Structure 1
Amino acid sequence: MDLLWVLYSMLTVCMAINMEATGSHSMFTCEPITLRMCQGLAYNTTFMPNLLNHYDQQTAALAMEPFHPMVNLECSTEIRPFLCALYTPVCTEYGHVTLPCRCLCQRAKSDCYKLMDMFGVSWPDEMECSRFPDCDESYPRVIDLLPSSDGMEESPSSVQRDYGFWCPRELKIEPDLGYSFMGVRDCSPPCPNMYFRKDELIFARYFIGVISIVCLSATLFTFLTFLIDVGRFRYPERPIIFYAVCYMMVSLVFFLGFLLEDRVSCNVASPGHFRASTVTQGSHNKACTLLFMTLYFFTMAGSVWWVILTITWFLAAVPKWGSEAIEKKALLFHAVAWGVPGALTITLMAMNKIEGDSMSGVCFVGVYDLMALRWFLLVPLALDVVVGVVLLLAGIAALNRVRMEIPLEKENQDKLVKFMIRIGVFSVLYLVPLLTVIGCYLYEQSRRAVWETTWVQERCIEYHIPCPFKVEQTSRPDIALFLIKYLMMLVVGIPSVFWVGSKKTCFEWASFFNGHRLQCNVV
């Protein structure tokens, strides 16, 4: 072992001469320890190159990365002193090398080998315990330089427990991107979707694509009907047009997601950036950010315009406001309908809560983040439903009271009854899909933890991460739940076509095409 010291001393002297000649770091001076794992020990200076020929502490830090889980989980009281003795050796005096003793190496290895196998980490050949001196009085022991470990609990390697979720190497992301998955930073869910098979995802993508085309056609027809005769749709009916425009944009985004597949919602696997294909998060992907802004903004705006529609009906039915009086509040309606969704969208962007949805190909919120799902989807949508239903029922009750108490001509009675029926049918066609979407989100957020635990249990061996301990319940999501959710998110925009669907609309379109044909003949 004396020969080992001599060889190492000669090697470090040669390296120091070479480094001094090139203006690099010199080993003749002690330097502060910058490795976080080895800070806070009884010694705070080291020298480079270390015992494993790492020229600087940055290189040593990269080499120590696979051992971080073992140190954090404290699989052995000896693992941290042993690793630090190798990667950041004690700097005492030049020519005096302090090696970790063999028994320290053996205890660390024996205590942690099960956990290392779980994480897919092997014990390097250069750390083989036979290379180190015996633990006797003739060799200084590095463990003596570290804080006392008296009173520490038994090594947890021998105790089975739940280690929580550890991000697999394949899913780790660059720290500056701000990704997060299952509460672990710098980690992202896998792409394609972690819960479903490839054939299920293909079917879901085409299903969403077809529904988005149907919704886009219906809402576009409503908007074009409005453009043909703008004066026909006055308040209190005017909000239906803006409602249709919102869901026209929503269906357009889903259609774009169908065309893009997962090219925007997923990060492409790349050795230089991402080790595996992962879900896009945050605002660094401009296309994903644009899809998110459009989809979330118009989804929230559509629900707000429905509430404003119930407000205008209430004003027309209860205090008996006319179209002109309601129209005077149009500026306020627009400020609320576009301002509130805009503020929520900006807030989510500032919080970096954008997430790719590999099933639909779009980017949205709450796909994996439960907090964002609760506060930025469930709460706003539920609030819109409660306020809208209260105002709607109050308006219908007022109209029915007018019909019962005030004698009207039969023609006016029939018009009032038809108007109430249209309001009721339109509201049911809107509320049923929206309540279904809210129900799907509630069920999803209540089961998400079980789904994630089941996924970890199924993939922990493949990913070399700790498996869950004592899993009481396992469950996988049914793809039908997600298909219903997407269906209702898009179908909710279709009721607008029923409001404009009438003989008058047919006459207007016929007149439009006949007039256009007449103009062409004249030209």
Structure 2
Amino acid sequence: MAGSLQSGPRRRGPARPRGGAGGLGMAPEGWARGPLLWGLLLLLLLLSPGPGPPACRGAQPNASAAWDRCKRAAPCERLRSNACLGSALPYAATSTLLAADSGSQEEAHDKLLLWSGLRNAPRCWDAIQPLLCAVYMPKCEDGQVELPSQTLCQATRGPCTIVERERGWPDFLKCTTDRFPEGCPNEVQNLKFNSSGHCEAPLVQTDNPKSWYEDVEGCGIQCQNPLFTEHEHRDMHLYIATFSSVTIFCTFFTLATFVADWKNSNRYPAVILFYVNACFFVGSIGWLAQFMDGARGEIVCRADGTMRLGEPTSNETLSCVIIFVIVYYSLMSGVIWFVMLTYAWHTSFKALGTTYQPLLGKTSYFHLVTWSIPFVLTVAILAVAQVDGDSVSGICFVGYKNYRYRAGFVLAPIGLVLIVGGYFLIRGVMTLFSIKSNHPGLLSEKAASKINETMLRLGIFGFLAFGFVLITFACHFYDFFNQAEWERSFREYVLCEANVTIAIQTNKPIPNCEIKNRPSLLVEKINLFAMFGTGISMSTWVWTKATLLIWKRTWCRLTGQSDDEPKRIKKSRMIAKAFSKRKELLRNPEQEVSFSMRTVSHDGPVAGLAFDISEPSADVSSAWAQHVTKMVARRGAILPQDISVTPVATPVPPDERANLWVVDAEISPELEKRASRKKRRRRKKKEVCPLGPALCDVGYFTPPARSAVPRLPKLPQQKCLVLPPDLALQGSVTHGRRPGFAPIHSQTNLMDAELLDADSDF
């Protein structure tokens, strides 16, 4: 405007020459009105803000509006205490306008004492102190009180979630824009507060966010479980030490028994019990590891003194993870081996009395499944970081805090194992019962007794297994249904402990804090008893007489003493060895067939399950002894001579050998009757010399000299059962399967020999 007004006369100036004199004549009249016009223009210039630059227009009103937005009209009063929460205030006047719950400075001071209970939440206390002072003791000057900024209010929402959850923020502390405008400076924001927060027991202060207790940032649960007392901790530790030691002793004895007679014990399905006991043995070691010096604190506690939760984590030792892997992997492997054991029993019982070997080629799959499934489960748990420590049990396990993971990774596999293993176990018992009830005449007394004993042991074992698993499920369900109540009681206890501090500062009655609902120590003991009891029950399968004999033989072998126990040799092995030496026996009829101690067969430690169709018995059956020579000769094994058995490992005097070396078989009464009837029929038949009377009378066959070594019973010597070597080479007789040899005996005798070969109890 000023520029345009100053340029007006300049644009009008050049027009003067046009008017000539007229223009000059008008000059006095224009100048007469000039002062009035110039006065009006000057007045307009003073009243107008002027064009100015765009940035300057409106600056004054905006600054005034911002100043009014960050302040509010309020009556000011002099501070009676120039300190707020222990920090000196840089101003002298305040107002109670912003704190709706306080009408005076004394009430504001009392409210600040109540808010000081948040000292037990360190990070919340650090964030909320400036806000409390800015609201309860704000700066007031010239009838205007300063409003706290929105940033100051929002800084308390994260660390102080416990306020929102427990009590809720009062209306005057909610971060609304009318009470907490954006971008307002405040004197309190620059204050340095000396009072720092601390954690009230059972919480401990920590800077690790993974250790913080729910909604209480800066504090974590102490390592020792606050739900149990110190006395209960000691009681539980003694209980664990006792039962884990018993489990280790029982399972170790089982493993040592298997190893002492591994040659006879390494047979399926009995050897599966070796692996089951090995799993429980290793798992018990994981339970006992806490009793080493300082080991329990290293296992279940973090370096900051809090309980291990959500392992594995960085900057922490692997002791917790190692114990978890040992205990969990061993437990899962053991229960899966139980399924394999019941399946092996079922298939083996179905094949009793036959030459079919149902487990041949399947044992490698047993190992593949049993060792790989627990490995996958263990890796999955570590991947989701759900391994927690527990000071009561002294170990780290899955789902101590989040029971859903314990249900998925512990109860679900155990429940599946119970169903599958129980099915095969029941089928196995039914198979044995079917054999006993449907074939009573074909079973000897010993075989029937063994089946009865095995059925009884399987029934007891199945009852214990089902009982222990049901106990485990019941204890876990008890935990699941009550865990929410226990957590609520613990939270109330933590808040009560925080109120104790407030009560002391305000001289109010101190509340009595206690955890009203907490877990039962008896239920925890029952749960552990079920787990350790399962391992002990697995070891009971070697609590047999056969185990005593194994250790007796082991002791004699280690001390070099002679074992006077009657030895038992598998008849099939004896015949096979004689057959392999048939050529040597033909060249040297005086040669003896000897057996070393390694060929001697014993019962394994799990004698009740050794249903081997070639299992030797304790005595020599007359029927078997009568036909053994025919069976051997029929297979072209040896000449009709004595079969001697000489021990190699331990020399025995000749007068005692007859009592030591025996081969036995048991025949049921029905088979004995059939054999006697066949004998009577054979007596009526005429003896026929296979090579003719001429050869039988000339004395080509000369009985060998009697050996000094006691020999097995044999048939009366019959001449000409086999041709002498010199006649056999002539090739004049070609009867039978081998050139030069006559048929050994009739087809009826062959059938008799096969039917009466009682290598087994069935």
Normalised to the residue count of structure 2, the TM-score between the two structures is 0.47
- Given the alignment of the two structures, is residue 205 of structure 1 paired with residue 237 of structure 2, yes or no? yes
Are 1:262 and 2:291 an aligned pair? Answer: no
Task: Give the Cα separation in 2 of the matches to 1:116 and 1:201.
Answer: 34
Q: Which amino acid aligns with 2:133?
A: M
SS at match of 1:262: helix
For residue 278 of structure 1, give the secondary structure of its aligned residue in structure 2.
coil
Q: 3-state SS of the aligned residue for 2:389?
A: strand
Question: For residue 367 of structure 2, what is the amino acid of its counterpart?
Answer: H
Give yes or no for the alignment of 1:428 onto 2:463. yes
Residue 195 of structure 1 corresponds to 227
State which of 210, 221, 239 in structure 1 corresponds to 2:272. Answer: 239
Name the counterpart of 1:508.
550
Structure 1 range deviating more: 433-442 or 335-344: 433-442
TM alignment of 1:37-436, pairs within 5 A: 106-107=99-100, 114=114, 116-117=116-117, 120=120, 121=125, 127=133, 132-134=138-140, 141=147, 156-157=168-169, 170-171=203-204, 173-175=206-208, 178-179=210-211, 188-230=220-262, 231-260=264-293, 262-267=296-301, 274=304, 276-279=305-308, 281-283=310-312, 284-318=316-350, 324-407=357-440, 408-409=442-443, 410-436=445-471
Q: 1:193: Cα distance to partner?
A: 1.8
Distance in 1 between the 2:422 and 2:216 partners? 40
| DSSP-derived class of the 1:363 partner | strand
Indicate the residue corresponding to 2:490 in structure 1: 455
Could you tell me which amino acid in structure 2 is paired with residue 194 of structure 1? P
Report the residue type matching 1:134 in the other structure.
C
The separation in 2 between residues aligned to 1:172 and 1:379, in whole angstroms, is: 37
- 8 Å CA contact 1:119, 1:464 repeated in 2: no
Q: Using the alignment, how far apart are the partners of 1:368 and 1:503 within structure 2?
A: 47
Quick one: distance in 2 between partners of 1:185 and 1:431?
45
Instruction: Supply the distance in 1 between the matched residues of 2:215 and 2:269 (Cα, whole angstroms).
Output: 47
CA–CA distance in structure 2, aligned partners of residues 461 and 322 of structure 1: 75
How many angstroms does 1:144 deviate by? 8.8
Structure whose residues are more often helix by fraction: 1
Letter in 1 for 2:341: L
The residue number in structure 2 matching 1:492 is 534
Q: What amino acid sits opposite 1:127 in the alignment?
A: C
Q: Which amino acid in 2 is paired with 1:485?
A: N
Matched-pair contact (CA < 8 Å) for 1:114–1:157:
no
Distance 2:298 2:272 in 1: 33
Q: Shift in Å at residue 157 of structure 1?
A: 4.5
Question: Which of the pair has the greater relative contact order for Cα pairs under 8 Å at 6+ separation?
Answer: 1
State whether residues 281 and 354 of structure 1, in contact with CA within 8 Å, keep that contact through their aligned partners in structure 2: yes
1:434 is displaced (CA, Å) by 2.7
Deviation per residue, 1:475-494 (Å, 9 max, x gap): 22221111111222112101
**Structure number, greater radius of gyration:** 2
> Any gaps of 5 or more consecutive residues in structure 2?
1-65, 67-93, 103-107, 154-163, 172-197, 502-514, 562-762
Deviation at 1:506, TM superposition (A): 0.6
Q: CA, structure 1 residues 115+516, in 2 after alignment: closer, same or farther (shift >3 Å)?
A: same
Query: Runs of 5+ in structure 1 lacking a partner?
Result: 1-42, 44-100, 148-152, 160-166, 467-472
For the residue of structure 2 that corresponds to 1:364, the secondary structure is strand
**Distance of 2:287 and 2:206 partners within structure 1:** 27
1:477 pairs, out of 504, 519, 535, with 519
Q: Distance in 2 between matches of 1:115 and 1:158?
A: 12
| Amino acid of the structure 2 residue aligned with 1:386 | I
TM-aligned CA distance change 1:322 to 1:298, over 3 Å: farther
Give how far 1:341 is off: 0.6
**Aligned CA distance change for structure 1 residues 144 and 251 (closer, same or farther; 3 Å):** closer
1:354-393 deviations in Å (ceiling 9; x for gaps): 1112113221112222122111111111111111112211
Instruction: Report how far residue 292 of structure 1 moved.
Output: 0.7
- Aligned in 2, Cα 1:146/1:436: closer, same or farther, shift over 3 Å? closer
Aligned to 1:212, what secondary structure does the other structure show?
A: helix
Distance in 2 of aligned mates of 1:415 and 1:280: 52
Structure 1 residue matching 2:275: 3-state secondary structure: helix
How far 1:437 moved relative to its partner?
1.8
Q: Residues 181 and 235 of structure 1: is their aligned pair in 2 closer, same or farther, counting only changes over 3 Å?
A: farther
